[in-house]
Amino acid sequence: MLRNETATIISIRAVSKLFGTFKALDEVSLNVREGERVVVCGPSGSGKSTLIRCVNRLEQHDVGEIVLDGVTLGNTRDSAKVIADTVGMVFQQFNLFPHLTVLDNITLGPVRSRGMSEADAKALAMHYLERVKIPEQAGKYPRNLSGGQQQRVAIARALCMEPRVMLFDEPTSALDPEMINEVLDVMAELAGSGMTMICVTHEMGFARRVADTMVFMDKGKIVETAPPDVFFTAPESARCQEFLQQILPH
Amino acid sequence: MALSWKSARWIAFLTLVPILSGCSDRWGWYVVNPTTPSGWTNLTFLMSGLWYTILLSVTAIAISVVLGLLIALPGLSKNPFLRAFNRIYVEVVRAPPILVLILWVYYGLPQAADIQISVFWAGVVALALSDSAFEAEIYRAGIQSIDKGQYEAAQTISLGYADTMRYVILPQAIRRILPAMGNQFVYMLKMSSLVSVIGMQELTRKANELVTAEYRPLEIYSILVLEYLVLILVVSALVRWLERRLTADEAR
Ligand SMILES: Nc1ncnc2c1ncn2[C@@H]1O[C@H](COP(=O)(O)OP(=O)(O)OP(=O)(O)O)[C@@H](O)[C@H]1O
Ligand SMILES: [Mg+2]
């Protein structure tokens, strides 16, 4: 379990995000401490993806403030730098580069944006491929891998930038059921190593196992924030109870 | 555009039959009969334009492939002024017929800009300019066909705009647009014949000059047709080879 005294690394303060006139995020606030594992769940369209995409500015919030490792996010160099140095992301659709081998997918970032030598980047990439347990696939192209393997490559690609925070947006939703666990195991192992994580997922077994904090979103608002034992046994809001009933096996 | 060897053999056969069957004195093939000294001289005269046709087309294509990309990228920008620049360039430059552009660049531009321009460079500029507008549209379509997730993934490993384009987007886009670009190469090769009107000593010009001297248009222009056919088969083969090479690693 997370020690309480660690510093806040992400502070989301009354953030709203509009798409046209539609409020995808409605005054959302959330603090994430270093080493904390946050699992975000909620119905489709509730703003889960938008929330974590605001943290690395794939979406730009309209109102409120997001502070990442002491830097307020915005259209500034400092903001871009703190995101580049701090945050990694894994997508539902993997988004691997199809024209590059697994190894080249992983080394591209370190070589081009960190200025690392090819040899160092390769060594680092192999280290992370070992960690996601597919070092033997290094020379293959993404299309020749299974979905679970592709997602593990995507995790290795993000880790190779050595981020301090990892964002996961439904990383197992596009996978066949038999491949979900191999990805969740890698993520659980990562969580065990002390990585700060915000993870959007509906895999409640995984959430119970690794989460320090459960967040439930509905209609662009955070409706419930609680440690998993409380969250799963005694959720406060009716909306959250209803959601859990639908999603949890009886 | 893409020809298999089988169809290439058929085309060669069907073209050669009327030509060879006419190889009697009555038809006048003697003007290009390689076994006689004068026929041989005429034939080498016709072929002597080959180098300029190739040089002209290759130079023009090389320039327009680069220029086309530089025109396409602003068209994909969020900035409305850059997008407008792209639209205006494309619409204006692709409007005039290539022949008109050649005449304008050769006769008009030197007056307007007070410069000297050789026949060769006038041809290159006119062809490259015209082609760049089409290349720009091909690039734009190709780049737009790349999934948004590729840009986002590049952003999350902190690649800047140039690196994202160079290492992530363009390699994928170019694979998709290669067939369309191949068409454009063939088209440019053909359009290079128009530069003959300002006196460029390429294939078509040579044929015209020989026709004036020998009064044998059927035979001489038949040879000209053959010359372009062979050139274009070579270009097609090259483009196909390039396509195979670029997709070979993906199939592994
Ligand atoms: N680029 C966009 N333009 C317009 N509307 C958008 C855009 N992105 C998201 N939205 C809308 O914002 C709302 C929240 O979207 P978001 O993707 O954050 O939901 P989500 O909780 O991740 O849902 P899901 O479980 O389906 O992934 C949705 O109603 C969606 O239609
Ligand atoms: Mg989502």
Residues B7 and B42 in one domain: yes
**Position A200 in a domain:** yes
Are B149 and A112 an interchain contact pair (Cβ–Cβ within 8 Å)?
no
Does the beta carbon of A44 sit less than 6 angstroms from any atom of ligand 1? yes
**Position A113 in a domain:** no
Domain span at residue B127 reads 51-200
Report which ligand 1 atom has the smallest distance to the Cα of A46. 21
pTM of the model: 0.89
**Position A107 in a domain:** no
- The confidence band for B96, taking pLDDT boundaries of 50, 70 and 90, is very high
Does the beta carbon of A171 sit less than 6 angstroms from any atom of ligand 1? no
Distance CA A202, CA A248 (A): 9
Average pLDDT, chain B: 90
Report which ligand 1 atom has the smallest distance to the Cα of A20. 4
Rg of chain A (C-alpha set): 18
**Position A138 in a domain:** no
Q: What was the pLDDT predicted at B1?
A: 46
Distance CA B45, CA B210 (A): 8
Residues B230 and B144 in one domain: no
Contacts of B248 in chain A (CB under 8 A): none
**What is the mean predicted confidence (pLDDT) over B165-179?**
95
The domain total for chain B is: 2
Does the beta carbon of A201 sit less than 6 angstroms from any atom of ligand 1? no
**Lookup result for tokens 């490259």:** B128
Are A158 and B157 an interchain contact pair (Cβ–Cβ within 8 Å)?
yes
What CATH number is attached to the domain comprising A90?
A: 3.40.50.300
Residues B94 and B170 in one domain: yes
**Position A36 in a domain:** yes
Considering only CB atoms, B150 lies closest to which of A95, A113, A161, namely A95
The domain total for chain A is: 1
Are A95 and B175 an interchain contact pair (Cβ–Cβ within 8 Å)?
no
Residues B106 and B12 in one domain: no
Contacts of A125 in chain B (CB under 8 A): none
**Position A202 in a domain:** yes
Taking residue A68's Cβ as centre, other Cβ atoms within 10 Å add up to: 23
* Residue whose CA lies nearest to ligand 1 atom number 18: A47
What CATH number is attached to the domain comprising B168?
A: 1.10.3720.10
Residues B226 and B249 in one domain: yes
Domain span at residue A18 reads 8-96+164-247
Chain A to chain B Cβ contacts (< 8 Å): 61
Model confidence pLDDT, tens digit, residues A3-59: 567 899 999 999 999 999 999 999 999 999 999 999 999 999 999 999 999 999 999
As beta bridge partners, residue A66 has: A12
- The predicted complex's ipTM stands at 0.94
Distance A169 CA to ligand 1 centre (A): 12
Take residue A44 and report the two structure tokens written for it. Answer: 């489709």
Take residue A165 and report the two structure tokens written for it. Answer: 């925070």
Residues B179 and B210 in one domain: no
Does the beta carbon of A46 sit less than 6 angstroms from any atom of ligand 1? yes
Residues B165 and B148 in one domain: yes
- Cβ A17 vs Cβ A59: under 8 Å: yes
Residues 6 or more apart whose CB falls under 8 angstroms from that of A98 comprise: A141, A142, A143, B172, B250
- Which chain A residue lies closest to B152 (C-alpha atoms)? A58
Q: Hey, is the C-beta of B249 within 8 angstroms of any chain A C-beta?
A: yes
Model confidence pLDDT, tens digit, residues B205-250: 999 999 999 888 888 999 999 999 999 999 999 999 988 888 776 6
Distance set, CA B219 to CA A29, B74, B188, B205 (Å): 84, 49, 25, 15
Residues B213 and B174 in one domain: no
**Position A140 in a domain:** no
Are B252 and A95 an interchain contact pair (Cβ–Cβ within 8 Å)?
no
**What is the mean predicted confidence (pLDDT) over B45-72?**
95
Model confidence pLDDT, tens digit, residues A130-150: 999 999 999 999 999 999 999
Of B200, B225, B244, the residue that ends a domain is: B200
Model confidence pLDDT, tens digit, residues A78-133: 999 999 999 999 999 999 999 999 999 999 999 999 999 999 999 999 999 999 99
Residues B70 and B159 in one domain: yes
Residues B122 and B35 in one domain: no
**Position A76 in a domain:** yes
Does the beta carbon of A48 sit less than 6 angstroms from any atom of ligand 1? yes
